[in-house]
Amino acid sequence: MQLYTDAATEPVTKRSAAGILLIDQGQQHQYKQPLPLGDNHTAEFLAAIAGFKTLLDTFGPGQSVFFFTDSQVVAESVSKAYSKNFNVELQTLLHLQDQCQVVITQWIPESENHGAHQLAQQGLHLKP
């Protein structure tokens, strides 16, 4: 199973949205949702949390997951299991990941996260 997440944030309004792309046996599942107001780094964590919640709700626990994010802060925090500024969000994310059989987290450049990015951009236009 592959999980791609991304967040989009409007700098002026602080509105954010998550884009979630799940690929299971070649089948794509696309999701977008508004997120609470805030900065982009927080939104990236919230998008990852939303992605794992969606994965667990849709496919149940015990999945093996390749998790892709273009947020270096999220990828590094998961790798170290530590974040000075986003500890609450990180602990929530790690708790969700613990419900999976295995999670391999990989940072990818934004140019390789196009699907989740487009979904997050579309999510900004959803009514909160």
In the chain, where are the structural domains located? Answer: 2-123
Confidence of residue 27 (pLDDT cuts 50, 70, 90): very high
CB of 66 within 8 A of CB of 101? Answer: no
Provide the 10 A C-beta neighbour count for residue 66. Answer: 14
pLDDT band at 122 (very low <50, low <70, confident <90, very high): very high
Give the pLDDT confidence of 35-93 residue by residue, as tens digits: 999 999 999 999 999 999 999 999 999 999 999 999 999 999 999 999 999 999 999 99
Cα–Cα distance, 128 to 112 (Å, whole number)? 28
Cβ atoms of 49 and 96 closer than 8 Å:
yes
Retrieve residue 100's tokens.
């999976």
CATH class of 2-123: alpha beta
